[in-house]
């Protein structure tokens, strides 16, 4: 596990160009959106690069490192806050609230993609029923946004997959059922 400097995020997702005059993060071919940034930060939290109860680097630092606007960072952090992965404290900063997920059982690690799809098809109808019962307006708004992102990226499998994963994670969290959240995560 690597310590996180408040100057920049250290991960395989972010590489700093030390030869650049300003030290700006290498920019990807296509511009990252808030969903992409949220996915990257979600991975950082899962891998404990961003440790539980630690402060997330300031938005201006993240914006510089990922080559995006601060508004994009705010949207990503709000999405993570809606998923209860971070807590935004006005005047203080953003803090990781999520504890490291339990180690996956070997059966899950060895499951084939078809087995995972079958399990998802079996669980999703019930998850949808629970999500409808427990959804807040902000959950519905985020779900609509993620669905629109998937529709807009039908020809981009990476962007589609990121939005799809975020949508199903949101669906699971909206059920307020810890076991379903764990299974989907």
Mind listing the pLDDT tens digit for each residue in 93-148? 999 986 554 444 567 667 788 888 888 889 889 999 999 999 999 999 999 999 99
Pick the last residue of a domain from 45, 78, 100.
Answer: 100
Strands (E), 34-185: 86-89, 93-96
Q: Do 71 and 131 belong to one domain? A: no
Pick the last residue of a domain from 31, 65, 100.
Answer: 100
Task: For residues 159 and 147, give the distance between their C-alpha atoms in angstroms, rounded to a whole number.
Answer: 12
Q: Do 150 and 127 belong to one domain? A: yes
Largest CA distance in the chain: 54
Give the CA count within 13 Å in the CB-facing half-sphere of 75.
Answer: 16
Tell me which residue range forms the domain holding 178: 106-184
pLDDT in tens, 127-139: 999 999 999 999 9
pTM: 0.45
pLDDT in tens, 11-25: 434 433 333 334 444
- Asked if residues 94 and 53 have their Cβ atoms less than 8 Å apart, the reply is no
Task: For residues 150 and 167, give the distance between their C-alpha atoms in angstroms, rounded to a whole number.
Answer: 9
- What is the per-residue pLDDT for 62? 94
Task: For residues 93 and 58, give the distance between their C-alpha atoms in angstroms, rounded to a whole number.
Answer: 7
């Amino acid at each position: 596990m690597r310590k996180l400097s408040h100057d920049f995020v250290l991960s395989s997702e972010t590489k700093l160009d030390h030869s650049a005059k300003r030290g700006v993060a290498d920019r990807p071919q296509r511009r990252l959106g808030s969903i992409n940034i949220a996915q990257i930060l979600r991975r950082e939290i899962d891998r404990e690069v961003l440790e539980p109860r630690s402060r997330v680097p300031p938005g201006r630092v993240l914006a510089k490192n990922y080559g995006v606007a601060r508004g994009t960072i705010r949207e990503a952090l709000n999405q993570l806050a809606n998923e209860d992965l971070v807590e935004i404290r006005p005047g203080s900063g953003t803090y990781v609230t999520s504890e490291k997920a339990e180690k996956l059982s070997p059966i899950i690690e060895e499951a084939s993609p078809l087995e995972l799809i079958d399990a998802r098809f079996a669980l999703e109808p019930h998850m949808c029923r629970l999500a409808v019962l427990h959804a807040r307006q902000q959950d519905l708004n985020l779900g609509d946004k993620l669905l629109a992102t998937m529709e807009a990226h039908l020809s981009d499998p990476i962007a589609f997959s990121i939005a799809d994963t975020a949508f199903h994670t949101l669906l699971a969290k909206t059920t307020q059922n810890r076991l379903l959240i764990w299974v989907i995560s």
